[in-house]
Chains A and B, each alone.
Chain A
Amino acid sequence: MLYIFSGYPGKALPAGMAHLHAGGLRHCIKEVEHLAELEEDPMIQYVKEGVYACPVGGNEGEWLGPVEYRLSPILDKDGITWKIFPEHWTFGNNVTCTNWTANRETMEVDYRTGIPFADLLASGHPIDMSKVMIQRVPRITESWKEYEKRWFPGTCPQESHKVHLTYVITKGEMEPWAYERVRRLIEERDAAVVDLDRYRPEHFSVSRKWTHPKKPGLDFEKLLRGRN
């Protein structure tokens, strides 16, 4: 049974805080709180098209049956449905905290004509730069269009973004209380880890915020006021 949750344990924590990674969550489910029997058979691989008995370390061997899955309610709210996974998307087995990024490309165009600035330069004609107004606009690529189709209509963020998901694959269906406990551990910030002494440091990752290079110090207010 494939369970898909939104985010990963500790996603909302500030930088520097320790949180469970996939190995820590596995330890919690299997060894500490005994919440479910995880699917750990190396032959078993969950793929969108079904469950496969694959060669060790391989991919999509014998088809064993369709995937039974359950998406967390919060995913539905975000517009993430089963359709968001493309063909041959692989969930593996056991526990996985995965993420993907979608980059919204931009380009600079001449505000008046809509001609891409790069095309203007490539034309080889002299350009009076004082008469060109540049606007940065989204560049809708074919890959973005295809990506957007995977979301529930109208829910795909119209900017670069990340999607964090956690897969938990069990041998059978989890008990409701166990499911709720796992869901809270992953999706709710205040869900505390119990019996902390039964964990080791290698069960945790440290939250980290990636710092983007400093933005330029343009005085936009002054620019908006115009000249003189």
Chain B
Amino acid sequence: MYTMVLSICHRITGILLSVGLILLVYWLVALASGSLAYSAAVERLRSPLLQLLLLGWLFSFFFHLANGIRHLAWDCGFGFERRQARASGWAVVIVALLLTLLSVLRVLRTRGGFA
């Protein structure tokens, strides 16, 4: 049951990250458009809604990365036993939460928010 939930979460976070690609490109295009356009984009990214989206995106990224490594290990033939698969599943969630927390702490300490 639990590993099944993780599997669907891999797809959901993947789709979220695909949508987030638009935001990444928006930011890059703003950077290429000069300092005025860039400040406007940064101002927009500082809105509470987008900060929340960026937080969700950050967690999605770490989850997708950690679970993706788990999938690559499976593809190489490791960790298929039920106990191993459950344990690595928990490890994925803990690692993703921890890396998100560390990034947020770092961002808050250096500049009070994403962007």
Genuine A/B complex: no
Using a CB–CB distance below 8 Å, which chain A residues touch chain B? Answer: none
Using a CB–CB distance below 8 Å, which chain B residues touch chain A? Answer: none
